């Protein structure tokens, strides 16, 4: 596809970017002690090898010590960062990929009780809701120091051989100066727009003095805060023009919105169920009016939308960031005419939500992302072809089947239901989580291409399995909802899956007792709330929905903050009794021995999942390894060689929720790392 607009080069000053696809800045929280070491490099090189035009490394690399990372960012204020970045840049350059880095000072978007325990600093004392620090209002000597810090960091990036830098100005220190909502300084850095922008231009001037006129410098900024009293679109346009006219900036990377709250952040970086490419037109309008190199990315998950963004001339470079976490080989697949094989980003936002909880960014359904030094994205062929039987066609089972087939094995999947998907299919019943089914559909398509045989409506019995003469059996049968807790009348309650699947209609006055804090509870709650029923969501935890991370919670809250819904944390369902035509729920707590009552007509419980592994235990006596997994070998990536039963004719493993209740990523990682060594 020689004329594909996405594959046309883009000339940015002296730099020819070989195509229009980029990863915008994103910190996957892989640094070691603030340095982009082997994994960091391998992550970017994997995408460079596959042909991405530009990778904006880091995300919020810290320029100063009083900008302590909130999610394990690169410490650009340390000199030792230079050789690490040079290695990364050189390695990506070998594949023709341009490399830049995003630099920032987080301002109030951090905490004071981290790293060196320095006060957070901003252009006001106003606290940011998400990170909770009440910042110090910058003094003159702070501002002088911060300008120097930016310039020092830029000089380090220049020394590391990067193609350029991008300054972050949405929700961070730079635009905390810009916005009237977060700047209470007096002149010369507060008051008029000129004054509020002064810090930025002082920084740019200082940077240019260090790196010269050629080095590429851009700004990623909000062009409209979408907050009453904040920067509006007119000011955003004005700022865009001033950045261009300064002559110190080479590209604009347009964002719309504000990120000081979870809902604000989620509107800037939309998750599944939210519209695709919501800010593309806005970015396009800035490009049209300012006529300057413009980058943009926000929920552009599919190549068609990315192509449209470029072909229509809305922007010059288009970001597909999470899409590249889900599939690092997008560009290669476009070039090879294999677009339909791209592993889709389903917007689950597991990646981003995890970093805000202190974890590394992992993709919900690509377990090799973020593990490039140990897990391959391209599955190698096995030396010897084996017959592999997988029981269960949920995400874990299908991943095992896909990987085994890629390795060249002969693979059969037995599925008890008439369709694949397991709990993912159930979850995808919610309109908002519909995109989840792509986790299954992509694997089904891959399995079909690779010749995997899937037998539906096939309840596996041990004898049937043995008659298949497998070399390896992988039990991926998942789990089912825990239905009973001692003392709670099992026959009087329904569970969240009953509501989700539509088997049980919501009542009129409903108590939903959520002991697991996971998605099914809130998905069921959404269904119940929508009927107008009076709904109380109760949990013994100190916060509700403890397993649902920040940005994933946003759409639920938008659906559930209505007059008929209440949340009651820290209380526990003790028992349920019949009371005429209704139910009497007795309530206690873990803190006190209470006997509160609720009169309702339906109690929905969400106790979590228990493994469904009968077939595993039936097969265990016949397996050579007795089901044992050598964890050491699993971790270091060696084949499983345990023998517990000399007469056993096959190896037996179980993965995912069939072992213990976990999540989709865990099931897929179980499958990948086991199967990759079969
Ligand atoms: C794990 C992760 C970390 C991110 N960190 C940053 C960051 O530090 N700075 C930034 O400007 N954007 C950051 N982003 C936002 C991305 O640059 C991008 O705007 C966002 O993911 C939306 O684009 P997409 O839909 O193509 O993923 C991050 C995104 C992810 C997934
Ligand atoms: S976790 Fe979800 S949003 Fe993040 S890359 Fe994977 S599929 Fe996309």
Tens digits of residue pLDDT in 555-600: 999 999 999 999 999 999 999 999 999 999 999 999 999 999 999 9
Pairing state between β 10-12 and 15-17: antiparallel
End-to-end CA distance of the chain: 37
Residue ranges lining ligand 2, Cβ < 6 Å: 322, 325-326, 345-351, 363-365
Q: What is the mean pLDDT of residues 391-411?
A: 98
Closest ligand relative to 364 C-alpha: 2
Of 532, 427, 413, give the one whose Cα is nearest residue 465: 413
Which ligand 2 atom lies nearest to the CA of residue 322?
A: 5
Determine whether the shortest distance from the Cβ of 100 to ligand 1 is under 6 A: no
* 139/121 Cα distance (integer angstroms): 9
Q: Do the beta carbons of residue 552 and residue 353 sit within 8 Å?
A: yes
pLDDT at residue 115 is higher than 80: yes
pLDDT at 488: 80
Tens digits of per-residue pLDDT, 612-626? 999 999 999 999 999
* 427 Cα to the center of ligand 1, angstroms: 25
User: Rounded to the nearest whole angstrom, what is the distance from the C-alpha of residue 364 to the centroid of ligand 2?
Assistant: 6
Ligand 1 atom closest to the CA of 352, numbered from 1: 1
The encoded tokens of residue 202 equal: 């002082």
Please tell me the distance between residue 24's alpha carbon and the centre of ligand 1 in angstroms.
Answer: 6
pLDDT tens for each residue of 245-297: 999 999 999 999 999 999 999 999 999 999 999 999 999 999 999 999 999 99
Alpha carbon nearest to ligand 1 atom 23, residue: 298
Cα 194 to Cα 218, 374, 604: the distances in Å are: 19, 51, 58
Band of residue 70 on the pLDDT scale cut at 50, 70, 90: confident
Q: How far is Cα of residue 629 from the mean position of the Cα atoms in its chain?
A: 29
Q: Relative to the CA of 255, which ligand 1 atom is closest?
A: 19
pLDDT of residue 103: 98
Q: Which residue has the tokens 């009953």?
A: 498
pLDDT per residue as tens digits for the range 20-52: 999 999 999 999 999 999 999 999 999 999 999
Q: Spell out where 396-533 has E strands.
A: 410-414, 453-455, 472-475, 479-481, 494-495, 509-514
Expressed in angstroms and rounded, the spacing between residue 507 Cα and the centre of ligand 2 is 35
Q: Does the pLDDT value for residue 489 go beyond 80? A: no
In tens, the pLDDT along 314-367 reads 999 999 999 999 999 999 999 999 999 999 999 999 999 999 988 999 999 999
State how far the Cα of 507 lies from the Cα of 504, in Å rounded to an integer. Answer: 9
pLDDT score for 483: 84
Ligand 2, atom 2: nearest CA belongs to which residue? Answer: 348
Q: What is the pLDDT of residue 490?
A: 78
Share of the chain above pLDDT 70, in %: 100
- How many other β-carbons are positioned within 10 Å of the β-carbon of residue 393? 31
Residue 2: which pLDDT band, with cuts at 50, 70 and 90?
low
Among 345, 441, 555, the mutation site with the greatest number of ligand 2 atoms within 8 A of its Cβ is 345
Whether residue 266 has its Cβ less than 6 Å from ligand 1 = no
Determine contact, residues 85/101, Cβ cutoff 8 Å. Answer: yes
Atom of ligand 1 nearest to the CA of 319: 26
3-state helix, strand, coil in the chain (%, to 5): 35, 20, 45
Residue 322 beta carbon below 6 angstroms from any ligand 1 atom? yes
* Residue nearest (by alpha carbon) to ligand 1 atom 6: 26
| pLDDT at residue 484, rounded to an integer | 80
Q: How far is CA 405 from the centre of its chain?
A: 27
Q: Could you say which ligand is closest to the alpha carbon of residue 301?
A: 1
Pocket test for ligand 1, best of 264, 323, 352, 552 (most atoms within 8 A of CB): 352
Closest residue by Cα to residue 265 from 344, 135, 352: 352
Q: Is the C-beta atom of 169 inside 6 A of ligand 1?
A: no
CA gap 29, 529 in Å, rounded: 37
Positive or negative CA dihedral for 173, 178, 180, 186?
positive
Query: Does the structure show a pLDDT above 60 at 652?
Result: yes
Q: Give the residue ranges of DSSP H helices in 71-192.
A: 81-93, 140-159, 173-178
Sorted by sequence, the CB contacts under 8 Å of residue 154 that are 6+ apart come out as: 103, 165, 207, 210, 211, 215, 217
Please tell me the predicted confidence (pLDDT) of residue 550: 94
pTM of the predicted structure, to 2 decimals:
0.97
Least Cα distance to 96 among 37, 50, 41 occurs for: 50
**Residue 1 scores a pLDDT above 70:** no
Q: Report pLDDT for 270.
A: 98
Which two tokens mark 144?
């002088």
Ligand closest to 300 (CA) is 1
Upstream peptide bond of 188 is cis (omega within 30 degrees of 0): yes
At residue 664 the predicted structure's pLDDT band, cuts being 50, 70 and 90, is very high
The secondary structure of 486-522, three-state, reads: CCCCHHHCEEHHHHHHCCCCCCCEEEEEECCCCHHHH
- Ligand 1: residue of 21, 258, 321 to mutate (most ligand atoms within 8 A of CB) is 321
Instruction: Please name which ligand lies nearest the alpha carbon of 347.
Output: 2
- What is the per-residue pLDDT across 122-167, written as a single tens digit (0 to 9) for each? 999 999 999 999 999 999 999 999 999 999 999 999 999 999 999 9
């Amino acid at each position: 596809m020689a004329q594909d607009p996405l594959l046309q080069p883009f000339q940015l000053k002296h730099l020819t970017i070989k195509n229009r696809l980029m990863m915008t800045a994103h910190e996957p929280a892989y640094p070691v002690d603030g340095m982009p070491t082997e994994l960091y490099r391998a992550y970017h090189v994997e995408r460079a090898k596959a042909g991405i035009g530009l990778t904006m490394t880091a995300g919020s690399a810290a320029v100063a010590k009083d900008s302590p990372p909130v999610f394990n960012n690169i410490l650009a204020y340390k000199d030792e960062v230079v050789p690490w970045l040079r290695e990364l840049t050189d390695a990506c350059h070998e594949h023709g990929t341009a490399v830049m880095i995003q630099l920032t000072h987080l301002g109030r978007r951090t905490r004071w009780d981290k790293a060196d325990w320095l006060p957070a600093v901003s252009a006001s004392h106003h606290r940011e809701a998400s990170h909770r620090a009440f910042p110090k209002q910058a003094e003159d000597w702070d501002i002088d120091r911060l300008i120097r810090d930016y310039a020092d960091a830029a000089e380090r990036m220049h020394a590391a051989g990067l193609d350029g830098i991008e300054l972050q100005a949405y929700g961070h220190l730079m635009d905390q100066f810009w916005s009237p909502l977060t700047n209470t300084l007096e002149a010369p850095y507060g008051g008029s727009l000129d004054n509020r922008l002064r810090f930025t231009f002082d920084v740019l001037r200082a940077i240019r003095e260090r790196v010269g006129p050629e080095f590429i410098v851009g700004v990623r900024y909000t062009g409209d805060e979408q907050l009453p009293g904040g920067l509006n679109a007119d000011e955003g346009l004005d700022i865009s023009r001033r950045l261009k006219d300064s002559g110190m900036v080479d590209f604009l990377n347009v964002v719309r919105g504000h990120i000081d709250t979870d809902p604000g952040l989620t509107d800037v970086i939309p998750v599944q169920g939210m519209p695709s490419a919501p800010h593309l037109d806005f970015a396009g309008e800035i490009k049209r009016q300012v006529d300057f190199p413009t980058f943009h990315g926000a929920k552009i998950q599919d190549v068609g939308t990315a192509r449209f963004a470029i072909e229509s001339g809305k922007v010059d470079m288009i970001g597909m960031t999470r899409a590249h976490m889900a599939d690092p080989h997008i560009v290669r697949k476009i070039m090879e005419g294999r677009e339909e094989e791209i592993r889709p980003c389903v917007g689950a936002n597991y990646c981003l939500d995890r970093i805000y909880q202190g974890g590394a960014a992992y993709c919900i359904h690509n377990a090799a992302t973020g593990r490039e030094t140990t897990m391959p994205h391209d599955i190698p062929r096995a030396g010897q072809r084996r017959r592999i039987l997988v029981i269960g066609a949920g995400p874990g089972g299908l991943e095992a089947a896909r990987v085994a087939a890629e390795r060249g094995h002969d693979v059969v999947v037995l599925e008890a239901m008439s369709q694949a998907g397991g709990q993912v299919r159930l979850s995808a019943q919610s309109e908002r989580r519909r995109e989840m089914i792509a986790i299954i559909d992509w694997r089904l398509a891959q399995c079909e291409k690779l010749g995997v045989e899937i037998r539906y409506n096939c309840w596996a019995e041990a004898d049937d399995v043995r008659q298949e003469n497998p070399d390896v059996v992988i039990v991926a049968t998942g789990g089912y909802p825990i239905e009973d807790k001692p003392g709670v009348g099992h026959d009087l309650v329904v569970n969240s899956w009953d509501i989700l699947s539509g088997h049980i209609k919501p009542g009129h006055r409903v108590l939903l007792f959520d002991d697991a804090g996971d998605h099914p509870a809130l998905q069921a709650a959404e269904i119940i709330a929508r009927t107008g029923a009076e709904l109380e969501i109760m949990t013994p935890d100190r916060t509700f929905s403890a397993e649902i991370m920040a940005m994933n919670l946003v759409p639920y809250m938008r659906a559930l903050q209505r007059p008929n819904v209440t949340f009651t944390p820290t209380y526990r369902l003790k028992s349920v009794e019949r009371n005429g035509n209704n139910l009497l729920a007795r309530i206690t707590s873990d803190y006190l021995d209470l006997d509160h009552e609720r009169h309702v007509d339906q109690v929905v419980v969400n106790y979590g999942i228990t493994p469904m592994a009968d077939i595993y235990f039936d097969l265990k006596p016949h397996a050579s390894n007795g089901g044992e997994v050598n964890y050491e070998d699993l971790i270091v990536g060696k084949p499983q060689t345990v023998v517990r039963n000399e007469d056993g004719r096959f190896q037996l493993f179980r993965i995912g929720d069939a072992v213990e209740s976990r999540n989709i990523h865990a099931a897929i990682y179980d499958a990948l790392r086991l199967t990759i060594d079969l």
